[in-house]
Amino acid sequence: MKKLLSLLAFILISFSAFAQKPEYETKSNIQYYNAATNKADSYINERCVLDIYYPKNTKGFATIVWFHGGGLTGGNKEIPEALKNKGFAIIGVNYRLSPKVKAEKAIEDLHVAIAWTFNNIASYGGDVSQIFVSGHSAGGYLALMTGLDKKWLQKEGIDANKIAGLIPFSGQCITHFEIRRQNGIPEKQPTIDAFAPLYHVRADAPPLLLITGDRELEMLGRYEENAYMARMMKLVGHTQTKLYELDGYGHGMTEPGFPLLVNEVNRILKEKQTKK
C-alpha cells in the first residue's frame, strides 16, 4: 500500500510540474513606430517590425530584446532557439539598413523598439523592470549605443538606466565601421566619436556583460575594443562590468555565448529579488 501511495504521489508531482510549464506564443511583424510615421515612410513601414515570443498566461516575466547582426547592412530579426523555453520573453527586432539609409538610422530605430518594449510588455504579462538588451555584432554595437548614450531613449521619455542589463555579443565599441565607411574613413582606422559606445562610458549605466570570441580569432580588434571598454567603465566607477573571452571561438560565437546571457539575466533577477 505504501508503495502504491508513493507511486501515486510521484505521478501527481510529475503531472503538476509538467502542467506548470508555461506555454509560449509568438506574435510576428508588430510595427514599433506609430501609425503616422509608418504612413509617412514606406521603408520604416516595411522594415521596422519586431517579433515577440513570450510565456502565455504568465505574469512578471523578464524580457530580452535581441538585435541581429549583419554589419548594419544586412540581417533579419530572429528569436534565438537557445533562448526559448527559459521563462523569458524574447523580442527580435528588424531595423533599417545601410546603404538605403544612413547607418546611424539603425540606432534611431532600436531606441524606438526598446521604448515600445517598455510601453507594451506589461500588456503581455512582462515586468517592465526586467528588460534586458542584447545582440550580436552590429546588434551588440546597437545594444551598447542605445543603453549607454542616454539621449536616444530620452527622446521617448525613458531613462536608459531602467534597462535591467546590457549584454552585447562581440559588439563594436569604437565607431562602427559602416558609419566610418560612409564618412570615408578606412575600416582599419579606429575612430571614437559620438557614434562610439566608448564615448559614452559612465558610472551609472546598467549592469554590463561584454562577451567576445577568442582575441586571435575575432574580427579585427573586437576583443581588444571590448577589453578597453571594460577597463574604462571600471575606471569611471561602474561596478558591474564583466568581460568574457570565449577561447577557441571566432566572431560567430553566439551558441557558447547564450548560456552566459541566460546566467547573467538570472543573476540580475536574483539580485533584484534579494533587494526587495
For the domain that residue 122 is a member of, what is the CATH number? 3.40.50.1820
> Does residue 166 sit within a domain?
yes
> Does residue 111 sit within a domain?
yes
Q: Cell numbers 543603453 label which residue?
A: 147
Distances (CA, A) of 150 to 127, 204, 239: 21, 11, 19
Q: How far is C-alpha 63 from the geometric centre of its chain's CA atoms?
A: 9
CA 195, CA 252: separation in Å to the nearest integer? 23
H helix intervals, 73-195: 105-124, 138-148, 151-154, 177-182
List of residues 6+ apart from 156 with CB closer than 8 A? 111, 112, 115, 118
* Average model confidence (pLDDT) across the chain: 93
Q: How confident is the model at residue 220 (pLDDT cuts 50, 70, 90)?
A: very high
The number of folded domains in the chain is: 1
> Does residue 6 sit within a domain?
no
Buried b vs exposed e over 201-223: b needs ≥16 C-beta within 10 Å? beeebbbbbbbbbeeebbbebbb
User: pLDDT exceeding 70 applies to what percent of the chain?
Assistant: 92
The answer to whether 216 touches 247, Cβ cutoff 8 Å, is no
Does this model's pTM top 0.85? My answer is: yes
Set of cell numbers at residue 250 = 571566432
> Does residue 16 sit within a domain?
no
For 133-172, write each residue's pLDDT tens digit: 999 999 999 999 999 999 999 999 999 999 999 999 999 9
> Does residue 88 sit within a domain?
yes
Q: How confident is the model at residue 4 (pLDDT cuts 50, 70, 90)?
A: very low
pLDDT of residue 165: 98
> Does residue 12 sit within a domain?
no
For 55-114, write each residue's pLDDT tens digit: 999 999 999 999 999 999 999 999 999 999 999 999 999 999 999 999 999 999 999 999
Q: How confident is the model at residue 10 (pLDDT cuts 50, 70, 90)?
A: very low
CA 3, CA 9: separation in Å to the nearest integer? 10
Q: Is the peptide bond before 99 cis (omega within 30 degrees of 0)?
A: yes
> Does residue 11 sit within a domain?
no
User: pLDDT exceeding 90 applies to what percent of the chain?
Assistant: 89
Q: How far is C-alpha 230 from the geometric centre of its chain's CA atoms?
A: 18
| SS3 state at 36 | helix
CA 142, CA 214: separation in Å to the nearest integer? 21
> Does residue 15 sit within a domain?
no
Q: How confident is the model at residue 21 (pLDDT cuts 50, 70, 90)?
A: confident
H helix intervals, the chain: 2-19, 35-40, 42-47, 105-124, 138-148, 151-154, 177-182, 222-235, 254-275
Range of the domain at 260: 22-275
Set of cell numbers at residue 219 = 574580427
How many Cβ atoms are within 10 Å of 92's Cβ, its own excluded? Answer: 25
